[in-house]
Structure formats: C-alpha cells, structure tokens
Structure 1
Amino acid sequence: MKTFKVLSALLSYPAQGLIDAAPDFLAILDAEKVVPSACRGALDLLIEEIAVGELYDLQERYGLLFDRSKTLALHLFEHVHGESRDRGQAMVDLKAMYEKADLFIAANELPDYVPLFLEFLSTRPLAESRELLGQTAHIFAALAERLERRQSKYKAVFDALVAVAAAAPSREIVDELLKGIDPDPMDLEALDAAWEEEEVRFGPGSQGQGACGHESLIAKLRHARRAVDRAPRPQ
C-alpha cells in the first residue's frame, strides 16, 4: 500500500525531495482509496501546502511541533512508556516484528518512530496493516487532538490513520494519554521541564502497570489495559 508510504513521508522531516514528490501523493491516494473521502479534504490541504512551501519554513514548523514538543514526539512508546525500562523491551519486540517480516532497519532511527512504522505497514497486506493501526489508534487520536489545539494541518495525517484503523480508539484510553501538561513550544522553561528525564526504577514493583505481555502493541499501553478489555468491540 503506497498510501502508508505517503503518510510516512508527510510525517518525515521536510526535505526538497518531499516538496518535489508531494504533487504525486494526491494521485496515489486517489488510486488506492484507502483513506476515507471524509479525511481527504484536510489531508489534501496539507499535501498542497507542502508542495508549494518554502523548505526553511516547512522545516521550522515541523521542528517546533515534533522535535521541540515532547507531547508530540513521533515515537509510539514515548507516549505509553516514557523513559521506563518497559520501553526498551517494547522496542525489542517491535524490531523483532519488523525482522520477522524481512524488514531490517538501515537508518539510524528507533523502531517506534512513526514514519518507520508506517513504512512497515506499507509492506503488509491491508487487513494486517489496519489491525496494527487499530492497536495504536489511541496514540494517533491523542496526537490529533494535541495538533488540533495548535491548529496544525498535520492533524489530518493522524485523523486519516485513525479512520483507516480496524478498531476505533477508546475514549478512556485517549483521555489517559492526554493527561499532563502540554507546553507551548515557545515556552522554553516549560519545554525544559517536560523533557527532563524520568527516573528509571528497578526492583520489585518497578514496572507497575507497564509490566505486560508481548502479544500485541496495544499490550504496551501502560495505563490502558483494563480500559482496552472493557472497550466495546466494533461489529
């Protein structure tokens, strides 16, 4: 599915190659029809903005959002494990899933980097990709809400991912993920406080709610296991 390659590219750091390729994205989305039409208007606006954008301006906007704001970090397990040691095991599990599908990470990037995850989905059958998106839709829905607060067009990418997912995100889990301070990217003191490393604890009880199995990505959600079990399943 080239659609997931398009969404991956849109969430990558802007380079001239992205600007040059952006006009082709609309044709890919039109041809594959994976993204629902209800999401296309906002997504098309983002693509068109990138296609005619000035590289420095695009890079500055991207950096203020995703590089400077911890609450918008483009790493899946940042939002559910923070700096706990559970995150390391989750990385190992995700990397193993990639390698089982003969996808080996060549770039200097962590396995849970969202554009990399979407690249992986582009190599899988659509039904499998939708299932995996359903397991991560809670994170994407929370990111979409944070981007909406900033009136960012990047929200459209996460809305599209949630719409394509096989399962709708639980409101209870999304609310849990949205807890905490979401600092203004221009407030340097608040950003420093948000990026301050959490203490990594070891010993009995150190993993708390993060201690869970490896059967799926959703099992990594530190605060949400009971909510997942209670959430109604789509028919």
Structure 2
Amino acid sequence: MDRTLKALSLLLSYPSTELQEAMPEIAAVLARDARIEASHRAALQTLTENLAQGDIYALQEGYVMLFDRSRSLSLNLFEHVHGESRDRGGAMVSLIETYREGGVEPATSELPDHLPVLLEFLSMRPFAEAQDILADAAHILDALGTRLERRESGYADVFKALSQLSGTQPDAEALTEMLAQPDDDPTDLEALDAVWEETEVTFGPDPNGGCPQVRDMLAGMDAPTTPLNRSA
C-alpha cells in the first residue's frame, strides 16, 4: 500500500473531527516520503497543522466554498474533461469497472471520479500503475493547484505533491486551455442551484452524505507498507 497517496487522499477529504485526530499520523507519513521535494513536504506539514488545530466548522465551511461551490475547483475530475456531456457517464462506468477489476467495490456517496476516492484506489495499486494514471491527469492536477494557489489556499500544496508524484510535466496546451476558463464565484447561489439541477445522477449508495470512506481509509493508515521511497 502506498501510504503517501492514502495520506493525500485524506487531506482532500471533507474535514471531520476524526480526520483532525489523524493529522499527526498523516503528517508523519508525508514527512518521510523522499519522492516529494523537501519544500513541498514542509508546506504539507503546515497544512496538516492548520487542519488539526482549526475550528472544525470553519474548516468545513472553507472546504465547501472551495470544492463544492466552485465548479472550476471541483474534485470530480471528469467534470473538467467532459463537463455534463454524455461522455462523462460512459467514463464513470468505465472507471467503476476499473475499480472492480482491482478488487474494490465503490461504497461512497461521492462519484467514482472524486479525487480522494481515486487516490484511495491508487494507494492500493502498484506505484507504476498509479503514476501512469496521475500522469494522465497531470494537466488537471496542475490547473487545480494553480487556481488554489491564486486563492492562497494551503490545499494547493497537495496538488503540487501529486504533480511531482506523477513524474511528468502536464500537457502545456491542455493546461493553458483549462486555466483560460474563468473561475466561478462560490457566493453566486443562483449559479450553484443551476449546477445542482444539472447533476442528479448518482453512482453507488449515499450513506449520510459527507465523505463516508474516511473511516475505512483511516483504518488502513497503519497497514504494513513497502518503503516510501520506492520507484515502483
């Protein structure tokens, strides 16, 4: 199991008191991974400290404003590729089949292309396979990181780490095209309502909302792992 990918998945999950309690362990995992540059590891330590010590309600509100009320920062990756086209549904089905072939049955209220869900799955795959998938999404990861950096959000450092783990440079043309799209206004509730009306398709059960996979993900944090500086 790749504990770094699991840790990064947890950092991008909806904040909870349970997750706050796990931040010291998450921070320790990231601090030991030499695949991530020292400057990025230091920035991630700051993020984990802020998430551990912050007021839970303020953290949750900030998370929703960033990732749920801003379509340009959506953690549902296919939204940045397919938007609301029919191709997105086919891509979702294909991704679910990929999970199942890997021995994972999605059991979360989130869509299968939700980045924390994908990272949790990749943490259980050989790193070379995980790296290939991250490389395919490199332009999306870099665009999200750049947008978060513009908003001076510590979450930007998670995407910097993921870009580094991908082992590749993003497609410059695709990245430029993504960044040319205007950022939406998370305070525009009318626009948000329109988005919700468009996206009513769900995949899998919806147990109590939030990010219900967090408990299972935390349970695996102390599972035996291969060395963190492995290359495959």
TM-score by length of 2: 0.80
8 Å contact 2:31–2:41 — kept in the other structure? no
Query: For the residues of structure 2 that align with 1:99 and 1:60, how far apart are their CA atoms?
Result: 33
8 Å contact 1:135–1:167 — kept in the other structure? no
- 3-state SS of 1:77 partner: helix
Query: Letter of the aligned partner of 1:157 in structure 2?
Result: V
8 Å contact 1:72–1:143 — kept in the other structure? yes
8 Å contact 2:47–2:154 — kept in the other structure? yes
Map 1:155-170; keep pairs closer than 5 Å.
155-170=156-171
In the alignment, which residue of structure 2 is the partner of 1:75? Answer: 76
1:51 shift after superposition = 1.1
8 Å contact 1:142–1:177 — kept in the other structure? yes
1:53 shift after superposition = 1.0
Percent of aligned pairs with the same amino acid? 51
In the alignment, which residue of structure 1 is the partner of 2:29? Answer: 28
The answer to whether residue 132 in structure 2 is matched with residue 131 in structure 1 is yes
In the alignment, which residue of structure 2 is the partner of 1:7? Answer: 8
In the alignment, which residue of structure 1 is the partner of 2:211? Answer: none
The answer to whether residue 123 in structure 2 is matched with residue 98 in structure 1 is no
In the alignment, which residue of structure 2 is the partner of 1:183? Answer: 184
In the alignment, which residue of structure 1 is the partner of 2:174? Answer: 173
1:193 shift after superposition = 6.5
Query: Letter of the aligned partner of 2:34 in structure 1?
Result: K
Query: For the residues of structure 2 that align with 1:162 and 1:195, how far apart are their CA atoms?
Result: 30
In the alignment, which residue of structure 2 is the partner of 1:120? Answer: 121
8 Å contact 2:31–2:42 — kept in the other structure? no
Query: For the residues of structure 1 that align with 2:140 and 2:108, how far apart are their CA atoms?
Result: 24
- Show structure 1 runs of 5+ residues with no match: 199-235
For residues 44-99 of structure 1, give each alpha carbon's deviation from its aligned partner in whole angstroms, at most 9, with x where no partner exists: 11111011111101001101100111111110100010100000111111111111
Query: Letter of the aligned partner of 1:55 in structure 2?
Result: I
**Whose relative contact order is higher, 1 or 2, with alpha carbons under 8 Å and at least 6 apart?**
2
For the aligned residue pairs, the C-alpha RMSD in angstroms reads 1.8
8 Å contact 1:36–1:164 — kept in the other structure? no
In the alignment, which residue of structure 1 is the partner of 2:230? Answer: none
TM-score by length of 1: 0.79
8 Å contact 1:143–1:155 — kept in the other structure? yes
Query: Letter of the aligned partner of 1:84 in structure 2?
Result: S
In the alignment, which residue of structure 1 is the partner of 2:41? Answer: 40
User: Number of paired residues?
Assistant: 198
